[in-house]
Amino acid sequence: MIHVYTGNGKGKTTAAIGMAIRAAGAGYKVFFAQFVKGRPYSELNVLKNIPSLVVKQYGLECFIVKAPTERDIQAARNGLQEVSAVIESATYNLIVLDEACIALYYKLFTLDEFLGVIDLLKPETELVITGRYAPRAIIDKADLVTEMKEIKHYYTKGTEARKGIEY
C-alpha cells in the first residue's frame, strides 16, 4: 500500500516517524529516507538506535532557500537511485520517503522519474511518502492520503522552530 501525508500543517514527518516506530515495534524492517533534509534531527538519535531500522538522508545541512543548488539536486538524485534499488529489492517491509513531495516541488528529480521508482514497489511492501504539495499523479496512485491541514500554528505568533519539538 502507498500512503501519502501531505498538506500545510504540522504532523507529516512526525506521522511518518510514528509509522516507522510502529512497524519496527511489530518486528518489521524499515527504511527511513529523508529527501531535502540533511540535518541531525533529534528524532534520528532514536531511529538510528533501532536495529531493524535504517535511516538515510539525501539532503544537505542547509535548507533550499530560493532555488536548489547543483549539490541539492545531486544529493536527491543519488537518493532516488538508492531508494530505487531498495524498493526493488523488497528487503524492507516499510519504506518511508520523507519530503519526497518537496524534492518534486523543487524539481530535484522529475515526477516521471519518481513514478518510475514507485512502480517498482512490491505488493508486500508498505510505502509512506510525505511532504507538502503532493502532485495529483501521486495522490491518484496512493491507497491512503491524509491532508494535514493547518488550522492554527504558533509560527504565526512568532514562535520559532524548537529543538525536540520541530527538529
The CA-atom distances, in angstroms, between 64 and each of 35, 122, 148 are 11, 32, 22
Residue from 46, 62, 85, 111 touching its own copies (CB under 8 A): that is 46
Pick the piece of the chain touching its own copies (CB under 8 A) from 7-15, 31-39, 66-74, 104-112: 7-15
Which residues of 16-117 form beta strands (DSSP E)?
30-37, 53-60, 94-98
**Among 14, 108, 16, 92, which Cα is nearest to 58's?**
108
Element (H, E) at 4: strand 2-6
Among 31, 72, 126, 138, binds its own copies (CB under 8 A): 126
Shortest Cβ 60–its own copies spacing (Å): 21
Cα 69 to chain centroid distance, Å, stands at 20
Grid-cell match 541539492, residue found: 72
Answer for which of 123, 136, 160, 164 binds its own copies (CB under 8 A) is: 164
146 binds its own copies (CB under 8 A): yes
25 lies in the site for its own copies, by CB under 8 A: yes
In the complex, which residues of this chain contact its own copies (CB under 8 A)?
A: 1, 3, 5, 7, 9-19, 21-28, 41-47, 50, 93-94, 126, 139, 142-154, 157, 159, 163-165, 167
